[in-house]
Amino acid sequence: MEEGEAIMIDKGAYSFSTCWNIKRLTGGRELIEEIRALGFRRVELNYNITQELLETIEPMIERGDIGVSSVHNVFPFVNDKAYDTDSVMLGYDDEGMRRRSVDLLLQSMEYAHRYGAEAVVVHPGEVPFESNIDAELKQLWQAYGPQSPQYRALWERMMERRSALAPRYVQRIAESLEEVCEEAARRGWNAAVGIETRSRCYQIPTLREAAEICGRLQGAPVHLWLDTGHAMMMQRMGLYDAEAELGEIKRFIYGVHIHETLGLSDHWCPYVHSGEERFFDPYLEAIACAKVKVYELKAACLPEDIHKSHRLLTGRLQALESAAG
């Protein structure tokens, strides 16, 4: 890469998640080098990073070849569906399983502290269902639309259970996070905990649930991690109105995952893949106020898409700043 080209594509303080190339490359060094070639100085190490990959990634961090903005719980990868990214996690009724979830989050925070990361991204939990009702709803949404009788009937069934049980899981998640933060403080760790808006309608938190949890834990380093694509999907499905609620919850935001959706398909490049000039604009203020800004894109996003999307996004953020100033 020519020196001038490297400057041209430098992404500054923005970070980039390893979810983009984790399934395509087998070596940690190659994985990081490919992200560096896009112009990113920092990465988010996602939950699929294994201990084996860290053997070549850690020396790069120690040398300062790459910075770490954030790590994504559970970190490193744990091959156990009971504690993966789509599980009850910090809200388990079973005390042994809940305790294990707390310990795994503390492990992620230890790695964040070791790498100088600013935050740990957490999928805190969900209201359990016997089957993946979210997948069934998305199939109906795509086949018949969100106003169809088929969709509305199943949606109401889902919401009846979610509304009845969510308060209990929110309470348990908040208690677990309080334990985590007390232990992290005792050990002298200062990375923020970002509870992420989720991609399935039965998962916790909604924006209001996130605000409730953060409000209960005032003084603790627990914040909202806004995933823009997930918020778009949940708005389309009818779980909450993200665009209307962002102003109320903006003060809780610490970090963002930046991506957009095509229908109910997420992790696409903002502005580029939708072809919509204003589609992503309602999320600009939230991105502007976030301390940690991470692109979380799928493998189908090509380097030229990523560069174009970044130019469009930062240009609109600059225009927003100029208009406000």
Where are the chain's structural domains?
Answer: 3-324
Contacts 24+ apart (CB under 8 A), 234-238: 234/197, 234/198, 234/199, 234/201, 234/206, 236/141, 236/146, 236/261, 236/263, 236/264, 237/137, 237/138, 237/141, 237/146, 237/155, 237/201, 237/264, 238/146, 238/155
3-324: CATH number: 3.20.20.150
DSSP 159-215: HHHHHHHHHHHHHHHHHHHHHHHHHHHHHT---EEEEEP-SSTTEE--HHHHHHHHH
Mean pLDDT of the chain: 95
pTM for the full predicted model: 0.95
Q: Which positions ≥6 away from 45 have C-beta within 8 Å? A: 18, 57, 68, 70, 71, 72, 75, 111, 115
Per-residue confidence (pLDDT) for residue 186, from 0 to 100: 98
Predicted confidence (pLDDT) at residue 258 exceeds the cutoff of 90:
yes
Q: How confident is the model at residue 236 (pLDDT cuts 50, 70, 90)?
A: very high
Return the pLDDT at 323. 86
Task: Say if residue 2's pLDDT is above 70.
Answer: no
pLDDT tens figures, 188-229: 999 999 999 999 999 999 999 999 999 999 999 999 999 999
| pLDDT bucket at 6, cuts 50 / 70 / 90 | very low
Q: With pLDDT > 90 as the criterion, what percentage of the chain qualifies?
A: 94
The percent of residues above 70 in pLDDT, for the chain, comes to: 97
Q: What is the pLDDT of residue 278?
A: 83
Helix (H, G, I), strand (E, B) or coil at 12: coil
Q: Is the pLDDT of residue 325 over 80?
A: no
pLDDT tens digit sequence for 272-286: 999 887 889 999 999
Residue 191 near residue 113 (C-beta atoms within 8 A) = yes
For 237-247, the pLDDT digits (tens) are 999 999 999 99
Query: Is pLDDT of 1 > 60?
Result: no
Tens-digit pLDDT profile for residues 170-189: 999 999 999 999 999 999 99
Quick one: average pLDDT of 7-18? 86
Q: Which pLDDT value is given to residue 5?
A: 39
Q: Which of the pair, 1 or 155, is modelled with greater confidence?
A: 155
More confident residue, 153 or 9: 153
What's residue 4's pLDDT? 36
Band of pLDDT at residue 253, cut at 50, 70 and 90: very high
- Binned at pLDDT 50, 70 and 90, residue 158 comes out as very high
Going from the C-alpha of 162 to that of each of 129, 166, 171, 178, 305, the distances in angstroms are 9, 6, 14, 23, 38
Is the model's pLDDT at 85 over the cut of 70?
yes
Q: pLDDT tens, 274-321?
A: 988 788 999 999 999 999 999 999 999 999 999 999 999 999 999 998
42-69: pLDDT as tens digits: 999 999 999 999 999 999 999 999 999 9
Residue 94 scores a pLDDT above 50: yes
